[in-house]
Amino acid sequence: MKVLIENDSRRLKQVSRELIEHLKAKGVHEDIVFDIHVGFEEALRNAMVHGNRNDPSKSVRVETKIEDNAVVISVEDEGEGFDPSVVPDPTLEENLLKEGGRGVYLMNHLMDEIRYENGGRKVIMTKYFDRKHL
C-alpha cells in the first residue's frame, strides 16, 4: 500500500485500520498485530506532530509492504528531520516528566528493525511475524 495522507488524525486512524485489517486477514498473531499497530501509529503521529508541525498543508507519505514473514513500513514527513540518537530515553528518571521521546522509544521496542533516512524525515520499520521475535 502506498498512500499520501494529509495531517489529520482521522486519516491516521483510517490508514492504520486498513493495515491492521490486512494483517489480521493474513492470520498474523494478535500480539504481533498489536506491536505493529502501536509502532505504526506512533510513527504516523510523530511525522504529523513533530515532523510536519501539525501543518495542514503538509502530508505524510506512507508505504507498507506485507511479505511472507514480515511487514515493512515506511513513514516520511515533510519536516526538517531530526537526529534519533539525541532523543532522550523517556525511561530515565530525569526524563520521566519531560515531553518527547516516548514514540521513538515505543517504535524501537515494538518493531524488530528500525532505521532512519533523509535526515530523520523517513523511518523504515520491519516487524517479523514469527513468534521468536516476541
CA distance 132 to 109: 15
Average pLDDT over residues 77-94: 88
- pLDDT greater than 90 at residue 79: yes
Please, are residues 98 and 87 in contact by the beta-carbon 8 Å criterion? no
**Domain span including residue 74:** 2-133
* Per-residue model confidence as pLDDT tens digits over 42-61: 999 999 999 999 999 999 99
pLDDT value for 16: 96
For 92, other C-beta atoms within 10 Å of its C-beta total 10
Backbone angles phi and psi of 75, in degrees to 5: -130, 120
Q: Record the pTM.
A: 0.91
Tell me 80's DSSP state. -
CATH of the domain at 69: 3.30.565.10
Instruction: For 1-84, list the strands marked E by DSSP.
Output: 2-6, 59-66, 70-76
Residue 35 half-sphere exposure, CB side, CA atoms within 13 Å? 23
**C-alpha cell of residue 36:** 505493529
Tell me the pLDDT band of 93, cut-offs 50, 70 and 90.
confident
What's the total number of domains in the chain? 1
